[in-house]
Structure 1
């Protein structure tokens, strides 16, 4: 896939939320595969073979008077994407035990050394939500646990869970780029007991996990929380991120409806990562 050509859309969104969540959902229905939330909106990617100049025609959110959305697009080749992130990707240190780095970075002297090539996938540790979810993983006991990483992106959270001693791990993402990238990163970090799947929460049939991690946008979380809880073992833990401080009441209300209770949250630049328990 190194020669694939993608169309990159850059959307400036006012207000950023909830418009960005809605925009991502609607673009996903039009065939867009990857999304990066920015301070001002969203970057979205679609394979050129699946694209046409009229792809945004009649997109409901673009006609909604409550939001102001501007956009432009460019062609981007996978090799150009890789060159760009290699120029800008710096190692990320989480606490004093974990570093996320690229293969070309020097090996650090830390307990958890995670090596990834993100390509067009989300989850390098640079974004606040990924960073906070890694903090949660570092702060909790994963030894011998069964874990689900939902919306796994690069697979970095699943990899850290494996390094923390999780016994069985499933990583699921709807995005084909993320699925392929996570497979590569799992192999690169020698985490052979991570099972990577391409799909949605519909894959969660007759599964049970001690810990579920989901770093996805708010609307998908609200829809899928009941499914997660059906898979959560007694005394299990649910870690959620991908939303803002002001979204906590709505997310907590949904969790309480299915028997979970809020325990605590981390906060970074108005993003949050929240822990719920039975």
Structure 2
């Protein structure tokens, strides 16, 4: 079993910064969290952690929030078992159920079954909820789709359930790629899944691009996404806080993308744009 470090982060004020901190910590290798009354507990594999990695967590030096932390080594435990204990089924607009095999069927129009491993995108996070909510109103029938930063491939699986044609799922994380392959089989859908980044794009074009990542990667990669998006195609973006929208829209406007709809859940935002 992997040895983990447990970090205790004290956050003042707690909201909305606790969710934002978790999103940034995921980007540097943290894979699970517990919310406390005055902060969060974060967990990372010991062999993945370096002190320098926290320098990439910009929120730790943000002027509007005070964050302090301590950490210690955890005893070896079965983390998949612990994760399963805390994984609850998701209901999106009474239309989509995201659940594990050990949960009861909620009998909604759409059902996505995943193995709740440590990869991001189980639907618990508000941005995944927002992406599914946007997708409910989109026409996927026969469309070519790219799920960029796919995590568990929940979004790619839902696109296929809505009738998508060829659907490509890409993630930088090897664990996410393997989990995506398992989830595709579990949901009886065919996905082209690979490990990579925006640098791997360019060989083919898409009608719909789904990107639930984070603001910095989106700002960097939106021009690449647009270059492989068919005319009249749609891009769904999330992984954004409400205060990121202006910066993201500046890049989108430069790329001649038009905003069709913006949704917000808590402090998180999703943007539906068209080329």
User: Normalised by the shorter chain, which TM-score bucket?
Assistant: 0.7 to 0.9
CA RMSD of aligned residues (A): 3.2
1:245 aligns with: 242
Q: Secondary structure at the match of 1:139?
A: coil
Q: Distance in 2 between matches of 1:33 and 1:176?
A: 15
Q: Distance in 1 between matches of 2:5 and 2:137?
A: 39
2:148 aligns with: 150
The 8 Å contact of residues 33 and 45 in structure 1, kept in 2 or not, is answered as yes
Pick one of 165, 168, 177 that aligns with 2:166.
168
| TM-score computed with the length of structure 2 as normaliser | 0.84
Cα deviations by residue, 1:35-84 (Å, 9 ceiling, x for unpaired): 779795784634x33446xx348937599584643223355689632222
Structure 2, unmatched stretches of 5+, are none
Kindly tell me: are residues 244 and 42 of structure 1, through their superposed partners in 2, closer, same or farther at Cα, counting changes over 3 Å? farther
The 8 Å contact of residues 119 and 181 in structure 1, kept in 2 or not, is answered as yes
Pick one of 189, 194, 198 that aligns with 2:195.
198
Q: Distance in 2 between matches of 1:78 and 1:138?
A: 41
1:131 aligns with: 129
Superposition pairs of residues 196-275 of structure 1, within 5 angstroms: 196-275=193-272
1:111 aligns with: 109
CA displacement at 1:182 relative to structure 2? 1.4
Q: Distance in 2 between matches of 1:261 and 1:36?
A: 36
| TM-score computed with the length of structure 1 as normaliser | 0.83
Kindly tell me: are residues 150 and 13 of structure 1, through their superposed partners in 2, closer, same or farther at Cα, counting changes over 3 Å? farther
Number of aligned positions between the proteins: 268
Q: Distance in 2 between matches of 1:110 and 1:65?
A: 42
CA displacement at 1:261 relative to structure 2? 1.3
Kindly tell me: are residues 70 and 262 of structure 1, through their superposed partners in 2, closer, same or farther at Cα, counting changes over 3 Å? same
The 8 Å contact of residues 24 and 35 in structure 1, kept in 2 or not, is answered as no
CA displacement at 1:153 relative to structure 2? 1.0
Q: Distance in 2 between matches of 1:183 and 1:79?
A: 26
Kindly tell me: are residues 255 and 5 of structure 1, through their superposed partners in 2, closer, same or farther at Cα, counting changes over 3 Å? same
The 8 Å contact of residues 4 and 77 in structure 1, kept in 2 or not, is answered as no
CA displacement at 1:11 relative to structure 2? 4.0
